[in-house]
Structures are given as C-alpha cells and as structure tokens.
Chains A and B, each alone.
Chain A
Amino acid sequence: MKADTLKKVFPIISITVVVFIAVTLLGLTDTVVRPRIEWQKEQKIQDMLKEIFPDMTEYTLEDDIYMIYSDGAEIGFAFLAVGKGYGGNIDILVGLENETTVKGVTIISHLETPGLGARVTESSFRDQFAGLNIDDVALKRDGGQIDAVTGATISSGAVVDAVRATAMEKVKSLEKRE
C-alpha cells in the first residue's frame, strides 16, 4: 500500500525537483546578466541619439521626450514614433532641432521585407528628413518633400506619416508644458 502511494507521487516529486532546480538556475543567470542587459539598452539609445545629434554630451528623459544638451545648452529634443508598416510596427526615433525643424530620424526596429521595405533604414531614405519643416514631412505624391523607397510605398508612407503625426503631437505637448 505504502509503496504503491510512493509510486504514484514520485512523478510529481521528480518534476517538482526539476522545475525547482531550473528556476534557481535561471534566477542566478538573470541576476548575473541583468545589469549588462540594462546597460546595453541604455547604450543603444545613447548611440542612436548621438547619430542624430553628433554634438550631444548629455540627455535627460522627461515624459517620453529626450531633451538633448551639448555642454549644458539645449540643442534639440527627440522622441519615439511608431509607424504601421507592411510587416508590423516600425519603431522610429525622431530628433527635432526646434519646434518646427526635423534634425534627423533613425529606425530602431522594424519587420519590413528585406531588400524592399527594409530599405527605409538606409541613409539615402532617412537623410531626406534632415532640415525639413514638419509640415513638409510627407511623400511627394501627398504633396510633401520625401521620395518613397522604390517598390516600398507602404513602408515609406508609414515612416513619414508616423514622424509627422508624432512630431506635431509632441511639439504641442512641449508647448503646453512651457
């Protein structure tokens, strides 16, 4: 009788032990590498901000808006915009040098088709944004100043529209704050 009960609960005990060991191991690994992962994320944001604002020396984050400083003087601000692309969301980092003018954009992540929509990440497309007035950030067929990537009108339009819409919204919220 006793041996029989033991036989029945042994599978439960064994799987409990295995899961317990697995969880302990994972907890340990996480404790070891977590600071490094946080540091990588921080580094990535800083690198991308630097790409748009090469003169940046420090930045602060206030309500989703990165304020960019060069030796204590404010030289612009940046924020995230999300475009609805062909393959999914396109995360874009947008930098403005003042309330009306775009400084630059970088694509943080996307799921567009390699060789087609994914070419919105190339500088030949992104460089078109620099120095534009926010109102002119639109595809040429919509009366704006931006050439779409050949064969990737949806991806290009998604980036352009997200940049314009989010820029207008963020500028408004900045003005309200002041």
Chain B
Amino acid sequence: MKLSKIQRSYLYNALAVVAVFVVLYVLQLTGLIGRYYQGILLTLLINIVLTVSLNLATGFLGQLTLGHAGFVSVGAYTAALISLRSGLPEAVAFPIALVSGGVVAAVFGIMIGIPALRLRGDYLAIITLGFGEIIRVVILNLKFTGGASGLNGIPIMTNFPYAYSIAVLTITVMFLLIRSRHGRAIISIREDEIAAESSGINTTYYKLLAFTIAAFFAGVAGGLQAHMLFVIDANKFGFIYSVDIMVMVVLGGMGSITGSILAASILTILPELLRDLAQYRMLIYSILLIVLMLYRPSGLLGRHELSQKILGQWAGRLGGKKRTPSSPDTPEA
C-alpha cells in the first residue's frame, strides 16, 4: 500500500515534468515565448543546476564553499575546447563536451576536495575561495585557454530540450541521492560531524562524494553556459559569481532542493523585470543576504521541500493565520 503511494507520487511528478516541458516547448515553437524570454529560460535552467548542485555541498553536507564558480569555469572551458578542437560534428561533440566538462570538473573536485575537506567551516570557505581564484588566474595565463581574451566562436548548441533535461536530471539525481543511504550519511555530517564519525560513517569519503558530485554538475552547467554564450572568459567566473550562486542557495534554504529551484527562478527573473534597476542589483543582493541572515537564516523554505501536502497546508493557512513558509512540525515531503 505504502509502496504504491510512493509510486503514485513518482508518476505524478514525472507527468508534471513532462507536462511543463511540453507546455513551455510548444509555447516556444509557436513563438509565444520570444527569443528574449527563451534566453532567460535557459539561464534560469542553468542557474537551477548550479544552485541545486551547490546546495548539495553547502546545504546538505553543511560545508560552506566559495569556489563553485571555479568548477563552472573548468567545465565551461573543457566543453568549449572539445567543441572547438575535436573536429566532430557539432551535434555529436556537444553531449560529449558536456559530459567531459562535468567529468573534468569532478576530477578537479576530487583534487581540491581531498586536501580542502580536511578543513572545516571558515577555513574551508577560504581555501575553496583560494582554489577558485587560482583556477581563474591560471586559466587567464594559459595559452590554450585563450588567455585574457577567452575562447570565442563556440557553437551555440544549448537549447531548451537539452537544458531542461539536464536540469531535471540534476534535480532527480539530487533527490534520489538525498533520500538514499548515502544521502543520509551526508546529512548526518552536516548535523554533527563527530557524532557521524563515531557512528561509523566514513566522513572523508562522503564529504568527497558530495563535493565531487556538486563539482560535476557545476561543470555540466558550465558547458551549457559556454554553448549558450558563444564566448567565454575566465573573469566572468570569479568570486562574485560564486557569491551569486551562494545567494540563490541561501535564499531558497540550505538543504531544500525545491527551495533552490524557487530561489534560482526568482533571482533569475527578478533582475530581468527590474532592468532599469540593473545597477542596484548587487546592492539589493547584498542587503538581501544580510537581512535574510538576520531575520530568516534558514531561507525561504528552510530545510523543507515544496510538495502537494505543504502547498495544501499553505492554502489552508492563507485565509487564517499569518502565512509562514514552513513550520517545524511539518514532516518532510
């Protein structure tokens, strides 16, 4: 009985995913969603991949990392170089480029993670920041990455079906991972590393696992971005970019995948709506960060996930009491 309930919910989710895809795709094909909005939609999907992946490291594993942009740039450069230099037809090279971007970023994740993850808290934040900056400086000074002028002429291959399926794939992998035995081990490290270790959890292994998976998806997102922008340059992927992604994770709630999706959507669409206020974007971001930390450090959704159940509760609460995004006694979706 219980199993069928879960199966039913999987079925609903799958149907919803397909339905959203069909609706959005048809709207694009018929031109109801114009070129400009298509671009925003792609950025949004890429941001979702980035936010969800960083959330694994920061929200679920509980390790503040400030070098996520470094992995994005590694992925972007790898993917771009494969598309530009492999000589394969673009349509064949693109998926290979994306996967390689992810794999190379994951290798960097392992190489950086092994030393870095021995540190905790503030030190980890700083060392990842350091690695991110080193990646940027090295890319800027290497010959085959085009140096300071970056790479250009990357074929524009990122389209809605690709971006959408990668975003869905990322979210699915994250959900399954978090619900699994491995995921619980990862969460236990966030809750109390020493307790986790004394319960027999190989903390180094699980930290590295989470960190590497996060790096992999960041790399894939980098590849998508390279094939959307036509030109990439390492300065785009600096510390500020890492902070951008971090703001999305924090706003959505560290430890909530649906929160990440929500926040990535809000923070991608909002600046576009406020085009006239573009110069205030970072100002608004910074104030948002401070105010969030002071008054709602758990973000919009905290550690909860949006689900039909919670949506129902909200709807019920809307009429009556003050609306609170989540209450402590709400069971997870």
Tell me if chain B binds chain A: no
Q: Which residues of A contact B (CB under 8 A)?
A: none
